Amino acid sequence: MKKVSVVGGGIGGLAVAIRMAIRGYNVSLFEKSEQLGGKMGEIKEQGYRFDTGPSLFTQPHLLEELIQMCNKNPKEYFSYHKLKESCRYFFEDHTMIIGYSDSNLLAKELSKKTNVKSSKVLYHLKKSAFLYSATRRLFLENSLHKLSTYLNFKSFFAVCKLPFLDLFTSMSKRNKKRFNDTKTEQIFNRYATYNGSDPFKAPAILNLIPHLEINQGAYFPEKGMRSISNLLERLCREMGVHIHTNTSVESISHENQKVNGVYTKNEFYESDIVICNQDIYFVYERLLKNKKIAQELNQQERSTSAIIFYWGINREFNDLKLHNIFFSKNYKDEFNEISCQKNVPNDPTIYVNITSKEQKIDAPKNCENWFVMINTPSNYGQDWETIVSRSRKNIIDKLNRILGTTIEQHIVFENILDPRTIESKTASYKGSLYGTASNKRKSAFFRHPNFSKNIQGLYFCGGSVHPGGGIPLALSSAKIVDKLIK
């Protein structure tokens, strides 16, 4: 029986461990933290519960596929419901736009609240669906770094579509030309942030992302986002995966250009296959001791990071829903400060996630749990103590202006995460949430491959390698590794 070692218990690592166990391999998973799930953790304090990481749930079929592969009934293992509204958007002029999780409803809402015709919105979403369908098999479901990927009719057909995939203009330019309306442009430009990119630099092919949230739909998993990692951990255990928490892998052993195991602090685990779910920079820098490749990776632009405030609020706000965005006055200036100046702007776009809107037990009665996030650059040695303090004041001032409240009087609990603690807690290099940024045509797709070109039996999954960050892509990376090993 082949022995497989999975390094890292994030979503990609858990998913690939399940797939290897289904194959009948002897699978061991190593996680340095006490809990599995990577960025998908939770905080429980004073009656409040917060999901600490990803907050948007799309494409539930990817999880149901894993459950069915284990010969289990998805309905008995995982529950979720579709959201009527994917997000509410708030602007400084007190305009509030409801982002319906339905293309027709959203088109009507934007037509009512802006000068954009419904037909333009529907065309944009139709184009988004085309971009997704044209790239899905080639870019999202297979390795781009294997010749075999291109040697079939479907891949050939996808390659033929490349000239029509908006690779040669930026997302912001495409959206400005299509809508010529500041509010609508901001709403659709924000999808670049879903993989930590800058809409004023990233190629317009990233306009495929709205298809997942609007055309396919946004969902809420019952028991919160943390239930996703709990589900995957349960499947791992039921499929016989040997889980080692509080166990850090110190190095990957290889001989004659082939892996033969992993070293933890106290033990050597013989392995025929090693799959790394860690940030690819740390894999080379720490586990393979390959300083040359680590330095090459260090030269690549990192994705955005974040400052997150977890606030226990002692009242309810009826104007807010599960997902809420409070836009900056000038989106271009905001991203120029973040991606060019490596600074945190004084007027940030604010994301507020309130799971107690869907699940009352996440906060005490008549209270709410606020996950408050702003985009920031990754950690380049900025004075984060000063930045966090200043950002907190700017966030509170902005929320008070738009909501007509004094939010600081209602905060009864607070926890804070910034790029430094994101790196230390989740081993994300420089605190970047998605590894390498997708601000260039090549970087948007040609991320680090899911396999080693030099060491046989070594594979990579998770948000820092192909196809990218976020729950759906992390699950897809596990599926790609499964195909490569097969």
Q: Note the pLDDT tens digit of each residue in 398-436.
A: 999 999 999 999 999 999 999 999 999 999 999 999 988
- pLDDT reported for residue 391: 98
Confidence of residue 279 (pLDDT cuts 50, 70, 90): very high
Contact residues for 268 (Cβ-Cβ < 8 A; gap 6+)? 253, 261, 262
Task: Determine the average pLDDT of the residues in 164-178.
Answer: 89
In-domain check, residue 50: no
Tell me the β-bridge partners of 445.
none
Closest by alpha carbon to 375, among 304, 424, 425, 464?
304
57-112 residue pLDDT tens:
999 999 999 999 999 999 999 999 999 999 999 999 999 999 999 999 999 999 99
For residues 165 and 192, give the distance between their C-alpha atoms in angstroms, rounded to a whole number. Answer: 16
Contact residues for 347 (Cβ-Cβ < 8 A; gap 6+)? 328, 329, 330, 333, 334, 394, 398
Contact residues for 156 (Cβ-Cβ < 8 A; gap 6+)? 150
Clarify whether residues 88 and 211 are in a common domain: yes
**Domain end: 220, 247, 277, which one?**
220
- pLDDT reported for residue 139: 77
The 3-state secondary structure of 416-456, one letter per residue: EECHHHHHHHHCCHHHCCCCECCCCHHHHHCCCCCECCCCE
Confidence of residue 166 (pLDDT cuts 50, 70, 90): confident
For residues 93 and 176, give the distance between their C-alpha atoms in angstroms, rounded to a whole number. Answer: 20
**Domain end: 426, 452, 474, which one?**
426
For residues 367 and 374, give the distance between their C-alpha atoms in angstroms, rounded to a whole number. Answer: 22
Confidence of residue 450 (pLDDT cuts 50, 70, 90): very high
Closest by alpha carbon to 444, among 59, 135, 53?
135
For residues 394 and 445, give the distance between their C-alpha atoms in angstroms, rounded to a whole number. Answer: 35
Clarify whether residues 215 and 109 are in a common domain: yes
- pLDDT reported for residue 63: 98
Clarify whether residues 266 and 194 are in a common domain: no
Q: Are 262 and 251 in contact (CB under 8 A)?
A: yes
Tokens, residue 334: 């905001």
**Domain end: 426, 455, 474, which one?**
426
335-390 residue pLDDT tens:
999 999 999 999 999 999 999 999 999 999 999 999 999 999 999 999 999 999 99
In-domain check, residue 63: no
For residues 333 and 28, give the distance between their C-alpha atoms in angstroms, rounded to a whole number. Answer: 47
Examine the pLDDT at 148 and tell me if it is beyond 70. no
In-domain check, residue 461: yes
- pLDDT reported for residue 305: 97
3-state secondary structure of 305: strand
Mean pLDDT of the chain: 93
In-domain check, residue 65: no
207-255 residue pLDDT tens:
999 999 999 999 999 999 999 999 999 999 999 999 999 999 999 999 9
Clarify whether residues 286 and 386 are in a common domain: no
Closest by alpha carbon to 191, among 167, 175, 169?
175
Examine the pLDDT at 150 and tell me if it is beyond 60. no
Clarify whether residues 270 and 291 are in a common domain: yes
Task: Determine the average pLDDT of the residues in 185-200.
Answer: 95
Number of domains in the chain: 3
Clarify whether residues 293 and 320 are in a common domain: no
In-domain check, residue 451: yes
- pLDDT reported for residue 140: 79
Examine the pLDDT at 465 and tell me if it is beyond 80. yes
Clarify whether residues 106 and 137 are in a common domain: yes
- Tell me the CATH number at 28: 3.50.50.60
Tell me the β-bridge partners of 93.
none
Residue 68: its H or E element: helix 61-69
Clarify whether residues 296 and 335 are in a common domain: no
Which DSSP string corresponds to 128-163? Answer: HHHHHHHHIIIIISS-TT-GGGGSSHHHHHHHHTGG
Clarify whether residues 90 and 141 are in a common domain: yes
Confidence of residue 157 (pLDDT cuts 50, 70, 90): low
Clarify whether residues 394 and 358 are in a common domain: yes
Task: Determine the average pLDDT of the residues in 175-194.
Answer: 97
Domain span at residue 105?
82-220
Clarify whether residues 28 and 96 are in a common domain: no
> What is the percentage of the chain residues whose pLDDT exceeds 70?
94
Clarify whether residues 195 and 238 are in a common domain: no
- pLDDT reported for residue 149: 55
Question: Which of 63-72, 158-167, 224-233, 315-324 has the least mean pLDDT?
Answer: 158-167
12-38 residue pLDDT tens:
999 999 999 999 999 999 999 999 999
- pLDDT reported for residue 441: 65
For residues 265 and 334, give the distance between their C-alpha atoms in angstroms, rounded to a whole number. Answer: 44
